[in-house]
Chain A
Amino acid sequence: MPARTDYQGPMSHSVELDHVGVTFGTTRAVDDVSFTVEGGEFFSILGPSGCGKTTLLRVIAGFLNPTEGRILIGEKDMTPLGPNQRPTAMIFQSLALFPLMPVWENIAFGLEARGVSKAERRMKADELLKLIALDGYGDRMPGELSGGQRQRVAIARALAVEPQVLLLDEPLSALDLKLRQHMRAELRALQKRTGVTFIYITHDQSEALAMSDRVAVMSAGVVQQVGAPRELYDNPATPFVATFVGETNALSCTVKGIDNGIATVETAHGTLTGRAGDGLSGGAAAKLYVRPEALKPKGGVNRLAATIERIDFEGAFALAHGVAEDGTPLVASIASTELATAPAIGEKSGFGFESANAVVLPDV
């Protein structure tokens, strides 16, 4: 359960997807997806573009009927209901603010639709403007605001209808990097403050890892793994998750044996060991995945030899790109503070890693 430090209100609704599938013509956009988002959770759906994540969000919002399966919000079946009958509010990728209405009317639009009086609407809008730190901006037009401010207005407009679940469709993708990082923290804080369940769609794995309580990783319409960010990073369940979430080195190998959760594998670089993933069996073709930051110039029970081709300085760390003798590319992350003692370009160097920092998954 997420830590909700200062939120004291009632628990928001949970969202349960029960064997949801969506087919467009001959295309299977979403295939048998089941997971439960707990009430008050910040939940992300992460995947490359075209993986079906937006389709899934539109199914939860009610814009799209699933071909099969059910959507339960607050344990009630919402499948036959339209978007205006669900306790959800959506924040669109384009934000979809109404450009011809002043900011306060945008925010109060949902209340207007519910027949709330004008004075009360204005009051509620001003309250929400305070919440998003845009006090006194009520009479401006959306076009007069900056990207980040518009972003916050869109959030306020969605919160005005007091939704149980807020659905966000890559809302930060149009912002520049600095603002995006700022808005990440702000969204996270807002979610904690309001206690509303957030379902957040993104193709940016660092965004998903940084903000979410849990993440579902999707590929080709299928949910590959659901877990906390650390869990996905440290214990990827499938090769897709291992390569999509964070940087990794993949080494082809054959499994020799599994002992006490540790697999011994035969690779072009000799015999290596790593934690055995699900479904791994002896003699099978597999891949060993090891993160760049797990590769150290010194030490480690497993050693690899590589020639350093280039070193990309990234600020806090540098990425050393090397090539093993058989041509396999390798990437090691070196902290900037240790760059002075790092191997030089063109140098043949060894890298080591511990078994616990590598995972072996069956090849697909």
Chain B
Amino acid sequence: MSELYRRFGGGLGTVFLALVGVWLAGMVLAPNVMMIDYALRPNLPPSQIGGPNDVYSLDNILYLANEGVHRAIFFKTVWASALVAFVTFLVCYPMAFWLAQHATVNQTAVVLLALTIPFWINEVLRTLAWYILLAFRGPLNAFLLSLGIIDEPVRWYGDGGVLAGMTYAYILFMLFPIYNAIESLDKSQIEAARDLGASTWRIHWRVVIPHAKAGIATGCVFTFMLAAGSYVAPALLGAPGSRWFTEIIYNWFFEGGDWNRGAAYALVLLVLCLAVVLVTLRIARVSLTEVAK
């Protein structure tokens, strides 16, 4: 704080602090407080709002606990998001390792550009591309049929489609933290491990992954949070059997017209996501500040 004033002077320093304050209060705190407020009130017709029935209760949250289908979708969203994070990690780790330790400067530039360009396009359009690719009479099925790998078209929409779409959508959020972490690993450590007779697997398990742990945890947390809160991919690439919890929340708000129950559902998702993240970080022995870096 005093550093801020010393560097920018009293006037500019105060402006910066005020902007951060407005951001925190107006854009982080207020919406969440309002959501909690909504979640704890019953859904009443306008005439009764503020009346004797408008009291705080846990009814909306208990409704979710007692509604079997919604509960199942909720837990499925949580573990499927974890699966998305895991699969994204499997895809990104080898690529990050190669980029950080083996690729030449030019190769790195080309690959990073190729990975970044799709992100200049809106997420909905990117997901729509997968929608086309995975269609029943789409290019993927046609390709696999022509190779003779499958005998008849596969219905990709559903869990598989959602997983593919999300893995693709969040690849950079996983790749960059891991890449940064592995890049700071001294090459001679890998050489030393190899010189001492370690297999490739052991070099990664004992030397590279422990070193990149904070980056891996960061990538997994980002990907998990984004997946759990994702709406477009499950809406486009899902099937009735692969409904995402965000779709239920959407329905309460815009089809059921019950904002209070929607807010309660959203609150539960937020709390559970936070819990999963904190527990993951605790297990990986990574602090929240390391992730923020």
Contacts and interface: CB of A to CB of B under 8 A. Distances in A.
A96 B191 contact: yes
A113 B197 contact: yes
B195 A90 contact: yes
Interface residues of B, number: 17
B197 A161 contact: yes
Contact of B198 (A84, A92, A99, A100): A84
Identify the interface centre among B197, B198, B207, B211: most chain A CB within 10 Å of its CB: B197
B198 A109 contact: yes
A63 interface: yes
B189 interface: yes
B192 A90 contact: yes
Contacts of B194: 82-84
- The number of chain A residues touching the other chain, given as a range, is 20 to 34
Contacts of B191: 63, 83, 90, 92, 96
A98 B206 contact: yes
B196 interface: yes
Interface string B16-29: 00000000000000
Interface string B189-213: 1011111111100100011001100
Nearest to A109: B196
Contacts of B106: none
B205 to A, nearest CB: 11
A110 interface: yes
Contact of A114 (B186, B197, B206): B197
A61 B206 contact: no
A157 to B, nearest CB: 7
Identify the interface centre among A96, A110, A112, A157: most chain B CB within 10 Å of its CB: A96
Given A84-B194, A89-B196, A161-B196, A113 B202 contact: yes
A206 B178 CA distance: 44
A89 B186 contact: no
B188 interface: yes
B195 A113 contact: no
A113 B211 CA distance: 18
Contacts of B211: 99-100
B206 A84 contact: no
The 8 closest A-B pairs by CB, nearest first: A110-B196, A96-B192, A96-B188, A113-B198, A113-B197, A92-B188, A84-B197, A100-B210
19 contacts: A82-B194, A83-B191, A90-B195, A92-B191, A94-B186, A94-B188, A96-B186, A96-B188, A96-B191, A100-B210, A101-B206, A110-B197, A112-B198, A112-B202, A112-B206, A113-B196, A113-B198, A113-B202, A114-B197
Interface of B: 186, 188-189, 191-199, 202, 206-207, 210-211
